[in-house]
Amino acid sequence: MTEAAVWLDRIRSLPLPARVRILNVCGGHERSIAHAGLRDVLPPEITLIPGPGCPVCVCPEGDILAAIRLSQDSGNILVAFGDMLRVPANVRKGELRSLAEARRAGADVRAIATPLEAAKIARNNPAKNVIFFAAGFETTAAPVAAMLAEGIPDNLFLLLSLRRTWPAVAMLLDSEEAGFEGLIAPGHVASVMGAEEWRFVVSRHNMPLAVAGFTPASLLAALHGVLVQILNNLPKLENAYPAFVRPEGNLRAQSCMAEQFAGFDADWRGIGTIPNSGFRLRPHLAAHDVAKEFAEIIAGTAGRGEKMPPGCDCARVVMGRISPTECRLYGKACTPRTPIGPCMVSDEGACRIWWAAGQRHAA
């Protein structure tokens, strides 16, 4: 019997209540859940809810519009993580609605997989401005900070759309109805920021939680831990990913991030402003800050109604309020080939993950 099967057996033998809802906040977790088919094999009382785990999905429309506008100058090379190229913004007919469209129209837009590639492209193109549109959570912020700490070429500029995960969860828990009874905390984020960052879930909200890794066994172990806490009414912070996650996290990465970034109240697309949930560049990096160096070009893009496309329910999907299949566009107007909302674009997006795993109709 595999380790995962052992945990599954243990979960099946628990005296579960009629309904128990567990939120995860990492696209990687949601992907592992879908890949392993966990929803098929878990007892029907358990509902696994994908929550705010997709940085591409919550990237403000203003940042996307700024990136598109910056790509229009032939002196600029715009680089971004691959997912970001496909995310559509709301624009008037005839205007460029995504970076992918800008590229097809002739802009020099390049997909990268790691921050170091951005620095490399800048060094290889000294006569151009290279603009790195960096969207991501703490797991992306850490390598971006490491790149900045190493020193970057003069011609590399950053358009940061980096977010912290826990403030979104705090916002859900502070709302009238959280909508879930337990939380699976993100393993990669916790490996950087430390498991302790999630203690507020227990101490302030009395909610059970466990940090999980990305294998079915690790996810099921964490789920079992959360369910037992719920059944015993003894919430605590559990770490089901101890091989990678320490209570204090990666202190070197944290201090590096603190040196390069300051926190600010950031916009989340379709959701609104969440206090202290974003990273922005500290003043010593002003010469590399798109907001400073290209202020005139991107003027008017920010705060331009951080809305999802009309009819699109991505915001409620991101916050775990509805499941992907409950959106009326899912699988009809909105598919990976013709995505309307960002959740159907990104490989971290719940809609895309459900679609790729074969979910074709309402669950």
Which residues lie near another protein (CB under 8 A)?
2, 4-5, 8, 26-28, 31, 34-41, 53-56, 81-83, 86, 111, 113-114, 116-117, 135-137, 139-140, 186, 188-189, 214-216, 336-337, 347-348, 355-358
Report the nearest approach of another protein to the CB of residue 85 (Å): 9
Report the nearest approach of another protein to the CB of residue 301 (Å): 22
Report the nearest approach of another protein to the CB of residue 30 (Å): 10
Instruction: For the sheet with 76-81, list strands across it.
Output: 109-112, 76-81, 129-136, 156-163, 272-281, 261-268
β 20-24/46-50 pair status: parallel
Nearer to another protein, 322 or 356 (CB): 356
Within 8 A by CB and 6+ apart from 220, the residues are 4, 7, 8, 11, 38
Report the nearest approach of another protein to the CB of residue 33 (Å): 10
Nearer to another protein, 140 or 277 (CB): 140
Nearer to another protein, 243 or 283 (CB): 243
Map residue 20 onto helix, strand or coil.
Answer: strand
Report the nearest approach of another protein to the CB of residue 68 (Å): 19
Nearer to another protein, 202 or 277 (CB): 277
Taking each continuous run of H as one helix and of E as one strand, the counts in the chain are 17, 11
Report the nearest approach of another protein to the CB of residue 286 (Å): 26
Q: Hey, which residues does 159 pair with through a beta bridge?
A: 133
Nearer to another protein, 236 or 360 (CB): 360
Q: Which of 334, 287, 335, 341 is nearest to 316 (CA)?
A: 341
Backbone dihedral angles phi then psi of residue 253, each to the nearest 5 degrees: -65, -40
Rounded to 5°, angle at Cα 5 from 317 and 355:
30
Cβ 132 vs Cβ 157: under 8 Å: yes
Report the nearest approach of another protein to the CB of residue 53 (Å): 6
Map residue 126 onto helix, strand or coil.
Answer: coil
Map residue 219 onto helix, strand or coil.
Answer: helix
Report the nearest approach of another protein to the CB of residue 100 (Å): 10
Cβ 344 vs Cβ 351: under 8 Å: yes
Dihedral angle of Cα 220, 226, 227, 230, to the nearest 10 degrees: 180
